[in-house]
Amino acid sequence: MRPVRAEVDLDAIAHNVRLLADTAPGSLLCAVVKADGYGHGAVPVARTAVEAGAEVLGVALVAEGAELRDAGIAAPILVLSQAAPDELEDLVAFELEATVYTAAGVAALAAAARRGRRTDANPVRVHLKVDTGMHRVGAQPIEVVPLAKEILDAPGVALASVWTHCAVADEPGNEFTDLQLDRLDATIADLAAAGIEPPLRHAANSGATIDNPRARLDLVRCGIAVYGLPPSPALAGRLPLRPALSLVAAASHVKRVVAGERLSYGLRYRCARDSTIATVPLGYADGVPRRLGATGGEVLVGGRRRPIAGTITMDQLLVDCGDDPVQPGDEVVLIGTQGDETITADDWAARLDTIGYEVVCGIGPRVPRRYRPIRT
């Protein structure tokens, strides 16, 4: 085994799920586990989330839902985008819940439900998504009543909810979130005028769950907060979330380099003095961005912050440890805590002008995941 691992603290996942459920009392909690649980491992995270109180799981792809079913997870699973026609047979067979937002999508789903022998006694649950202003996917508000009627008229499918997605809920005070909720309210009022009352309404992602009580409605869909990361720096500290993932390696090689020597590809890093340089067997093929060293990225060695020295390569990176005693096999923490120091995914994100989501999702499959169990 490589001396590399991503440690996932399932106790932190359970804590975060319970915390989010307490933040939105009266709302169902959907734990979003798409993209292999944001890089944490979809199956272990999903099991933990359900045990901690999540009533629904969210995925982006039918294949992601099928993976959870194959692992024996029986909780409701919502596919968050309209599935392609050739995915619908599996969606029905694995008893997933569908998102739709076009007439063609409704028709294709109804046909798949017929082929799958679904009846009104055991229908495919359908979530009708409304585009309230993000303009990624979703039906236009004027299209929602006709689409809802088509769903209600089709045998083997049932309207489960009307929902939308907030574009700027991670920006406290941004008036656009209220505008989106106004549009959703108006759409639901149009449905009511047509005699249609969807069982559920939902709009809140992690940001809205934390910051906007109005958005919580009947169900909240929490992704990044389940993993202990704030949706944005503006929401950091609003809830005592616990980051679940650490990225750890062992130094594979140590050498002494004299002052003035330059390191790694491009020779862009110059040793200002004689230094101990540690090689760490992680690189951009594992999800450590190549430019993290150039933007001031650090790691923890011996409980101290030490700079990444030079260009990160595909399989390795270098660390300038100064005069610290370092030996091959010593622990190097890229994300996580060592001693009194902590480096977070958001620290990487700040260096890279991105978001913590991209950091944790980018940790590649070459990095083994190790799971710490829920503490009793």
Amino acid identity of 150? E
Sole residue written with tokens 């995270």: 45
CB proximity list for 180: less than 8 A, separation 6 or greater:
132, 133, 134, 164, 166, 167, 203
Q: Catalytic site residue 34?
A: yes
Active-site pick, 34, 38, 269, 357: 34
- Measure the CA–CA gap between 209 and 218, rounded to whole angstroms: 11
Distance in angstroms (rounded) separating the CA atoms of residues 46 and 55: 11
Distance CA(163)–CA(57), nearest Å, equals: 15
**Alpha-carbon 139 to chain mean position:** 24
**Closest Cα partner for 39 from 302, 280, 289, 246?**
246
Question: Which member of 101, 149, 265, 357 is catalytic?
Answer: 265
Instruction: Give the chain's largest Cα–Cα span.
Output: 79
Residue 232: name the closest of 183, 177, 185 by CA.
Answer: 177
Radius of gyration of the chain (CA): 24
* Residue 255 annotated in active site: no
What residues have CB less than 8 Å from 74, skipping those under 6 apart?
A: none
> What are the backbone dihedrals phi and psi of residue 317, each rounded to the nearest 5 degrees, phi first?
-140, 160
Pairing of strands 124-129, 262-263: unpaired
Catalytic positions: 34, 265
